[in-house]
Structure 1
């Protein structure tokens, strides 16, 4: 197999892996109300549950660069993806509510390691080909999230028990992850001598990480709370509430498919600022309207605005001199995942004290930070294809 053929095969495999990540995330997001109902969790308990997942994510970030450097992104995607998917499959069949928290810790650890592995693969493929592909990969995540939430809506209409949904889909996706991994690059080229496989976030990495924090906090609000908001605050049925997630994920996917085309024609700083501003305005109007139909439209506009933010910032993290691609992503993400860590208790606490409408205002604040911060970091620079590497 020639190098271009191998890269093309790896691109399709990586698209599939991003799709699988989205399927699990989308299904989980649609089943947050199911988790609350199964174990009688209020907003605070749900917040602690999400916090357990984020704790697992952050713990794994400290080791991700070294693990991927030693085992390769392909092997890590199989191991971490299996843990991630199978944790979801048992989530609603646990004999005690207390077991939810360690299971969610494993869910988060597997998710973050899998996420970093496939992002490192995507960054390497972009480097080798000299073509912008990262937004397209992240678009596949959004497609998967849309399909996962859409499947949940369909399953609810067919009166399929929530635990059956999670168990069956989790097992099937775990198998698909193993199959898709066969097309990924066997190993990445070794990093330059002296390149770190973990870097504590500071300087430019810290600044990028703080913006990823804001972007991931905003996305986390949508992924974890949008369905509950439409169902609890707006009184929609479960199958219709799940469609709010579909609207957000579908719009995000559509914009991410166009994201690489946009990046080639519009300055990345402009894309981030305009997108964050659009999301803030759309969420403000949605909360003021307090209507299920308006929420579908508003969440779609939020998805369009946020779609390219995190892919652009992830790619910026891989361009910081002196660290490997995986380490750059892991380092910036270690700050970014704090957004997922502080997001649940903040949103849950506000929702418990007031309501989810006020809690969702955290997304507006996060978007304002993105607008300001995008003017403070270098964006839009393209890495040159190394000599001797086929484009």
Structure 2
């Protein structure tokens, strides 16, 4: 049974606990991601069938956005993140038990639903802890999520090598998450700002939140493109040898994770607006280098810059959104996430469409414009937000 400590909790303990929750969330996602090929083989799915099945995950995520913001504002992020991570990790086991496509579609829908519940509530927790420090620390939390991605991928690689079936792998990870949540709950941030029992489920974001959502939208178009198309770009445009096809993705992920751990430090010295502008410029420059000079070394350098560019945008935007005075932090985060995540969904198919019309290089050049858009939109952030 979960219980709370009776003695006052230090802000450092809150920070460690919320960081652990971010890590556990990332571990759930990366555990699933590392075993997608195994699940595909286990259910004998073609690439087309797998693509259709995977679409149920973002559907669940998008449908949960307004509900999660409302629920978090009603009962508090501490309870919601606990419930969400328990469901999130348990759904991993359900995925491992799936015997047909229909079961997998349903399981992934709830996996996506719980994923966003965890995302909104844990970011609301981070906003609360950040208020104790009175400086930007949001990016470091997202850095822990990225670190969990590497750890989860490494564990998945080991499990595959040891011929451990997905169900047993997921059972182990679920046990880890359960134990981690039980410990972290005691030290999680206890009370969100402006929790309202009468908060409506749907709230129209104000102009400031719309602007933040658009910044996230443009950045997540780039991020989604890199997640889904970096390997294809290295294979077909860079014409990398088979062993080096994943080099671009690895470069992108490495700098994205590393830069998140220094983004808060940079923000405290340069200011939010300048860091966001620099992020957009780095993204645009990195993609442009990869398009103009599609060779192994230059493309890797370009992807390194893109990783550094997109790394801080969403964490910093979330941090600003959570401080809004117009609605509960969870509702503001849900509003910005709804706009931003649309970019994550639009990016990959947009690249495919443009590549079909012209070429993959042209599509990456168009995506580079999204980096410029981040820089331009960031310049409109008001001084009190920056």
Unaligned 5+ residue runs, structure 1? 383-391
1:136 equivalenced with 2:140 (yes/no):
yes
Match of 2:242 in 1: 236
1:111 Cα deviation after fit? 1.0
Map 1:213-232 onto structure 2 (within 5 A): 213-227=217-231
The answer to whether the Cα contact below 8 Å between 2:209 and 2:321 also exists between their aligned partners in 1 is yes
1:166 Cα deviation after fit? 5.5
Please list the CA deviations of residues 98-134 of structure 1 after superposition, one character each: whole Å capped at 9, or x if unmatched.
Answer: 4333222212111111011111111111113323211
Distance 1:155 1:71, change over 3 A: same
Distance 1:36 1:332, change over 3 A: same
Find the partner of 1:13 among 17, 26, 32.
17
1:371 equivalenced with 2:366 (yes/no):
no
Find the partner of 1:254 among 258, 261, 276.
258
1:381 Cα deviation after fit? 3.2
Find the partner of 2:127 among 117, 123, 129.
123
Alignment partners' CA distance in 1, 2:26 and 2:349:
23
1:71 Cα deviation after fit? 2.7
Find the partner of 2:149 among 145, 149, 162.
145
Distance 1:45 1:289, change over 3 A: farther
1:33 Cα deviation after fit? 5.3
Q: Secondary structure at the match of 2:242?
A: coil
1:282 equivalenced with 2:290 (yes/no):
no
Match of 2:65 in 1: 61
Distance 1:245 1:73, change over 3 A: farther
Please list the CA deviations of residues 284-323 of structure 1 after superposition, one character each: whole Å capped at 9, or x if unmatched.
Answer: 3335555666655443322111111111111221233321
1:216 Cα deviation after fit? 2.2
Distance 1:146 1:192, change over 3 A: same
Match of 1:341 in 2: 345
1:225 Cα deviation after fit? 4.2
Number of equivalences: 377
The answer to whether the Cα contact below 8 Å between 1:196 and 1:327 also exists between their aligned partners in 2 is no
1:201 equivalenced with 2:210 (yes/no):
no
Find the partner of 2:91 among 84, 87, 91.
87
Distance 1:335 1:189, change over 3 A: closer
Q: Secondary structure at the match of 1:265?
A: helix
Alignment partners' CA distance in 2, 1:120 and 1:212:
17
The answer to whether the Cα contact below 8 Å between 2:285 and 2:302 also exists between their aligned partners in 1 is no
Alignment partners' CA distance in 2, 1:243 and 1:30:
17
1:70 equivalenced with 2:74 (yes/no):
yes
1:281 Cα deviation after fit? 2.1
TM-score norm. by structure 2 comes to: 0.82
1:183 equivalenced with 2:184 (yes/no):
no
Q: Which has the higher contact order (CA 8 A, sep 6+)?
A: 1
Please list the CA deviations of residues 152-210 of structure 1 after superposition, one character each: whole Å capped at 9, or x if unmatched.
Answer: 44555x36467368525642443233433332123335547987775223422222112
Find the partner of 1:174 among 173, 177, 192.
177
Q: Secondary structure at the match of 2:99?
A: coil
Find the partner of 1:305 among 298, 306, 309.
309
Unaligned 5+ residue runs, structure 2? 1-5
Distance 1:197 1:215, change over 3 A: same
Alignment partners' CA distance in 2, 1:353 and 1:168:
45
Find the partner of 1:327 among 326, 331, 334.
331
Distance 1:9 1:339, change over 3 A: same
Match of 1:388 in 2: none
The answer to whether the Cα contact below 8 Å between 1:29 and 1:227 also exists between their aligned partners in 2 is no
The answer to whether the Cα contact below 8 Å between 1:123 and 1:318 also exists between their aligned partners in 2 is yes
The answer to whether the Cα contact below 8 Å between 1:47 and 1:344 also exists between their aligned partners in 2 is no
Match of 1:389 in 2: none
Match of 1:387 in 2: none
